[in-house]
């Protein structure tokens, strides 16, 4: 599935939890999270994620959350994609989300001032 300019765009801000175990939970599930990002980016659904969240070594960055632009049919479609991410899903052991603070999650429709770059071909 390739991205189309006609799909609505949504800004997503998913702040991290700030408790003592948050970084350890983040790093424990980071590989499947990154695989999901690659899949969604390849489909053209996830159009942007802050580079420091993907490329930086954990020891070099203080993680505070993820900022993303999704393309989807409506806000419910985008919310479902966000809620299926391992960083959002509930973790029974910790009694809260693995990484993203669900109560502070923001998903808003946006109008872009400039066009997004085209989705790279794989």
10 DSSP β-pair partners:
70, 109
The Cα–Cα gap between 97 and 26 comes to 10
Beta bridge partners of 66: 14
pLDDT in tens, 107-117: 999 998 888 87
Q: Where are the domains of the chain?
A: 9-110
pTM over 0.85: no
pLDDT tens string 38-61:
899 888 899 877 655 566 666 666
CB proximity list for 80: less than 8 A, separation 6 or greater = none
Backbone phi, psi, residue 64, to 5°: -125, -10
> Among 1.10.10.10, 3.20.20.150, 3.30.70.1060, 3.40.640.10, what is the CATH number of 9-110?
3.30.70.1060
Ramachandran angles phi, psi of 17, nearest 5°: -65, 160
**CA 99 remoteness from chain centre:** 11
């Amino acid at each position: 599935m390739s991205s189309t300019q006609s799909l609505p765009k949504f800004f997503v801000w998913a702040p991290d939890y700030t408790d003592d175990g948050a970084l350890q939970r983040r790093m424990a599930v980071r590989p499947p999270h990154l695989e999901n990002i690659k899949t969604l980016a390849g489909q053209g659904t996830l159009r942007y994620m802050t580079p420091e969240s993907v490329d930086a070594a954990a020891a070099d960055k203080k993680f505070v959350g993820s900022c993303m632009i999704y393309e989807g049919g409506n806000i419910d479609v985008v919310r479902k994609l966000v809620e299926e991410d391992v960083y959002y899903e509930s973790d029974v052991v910790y009694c809260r989300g693995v990484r993203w603070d669900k109560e502070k999650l923001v998903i808003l429709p946006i109008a872009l001032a400039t066009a997004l770059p085209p989705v790279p071909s794989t």
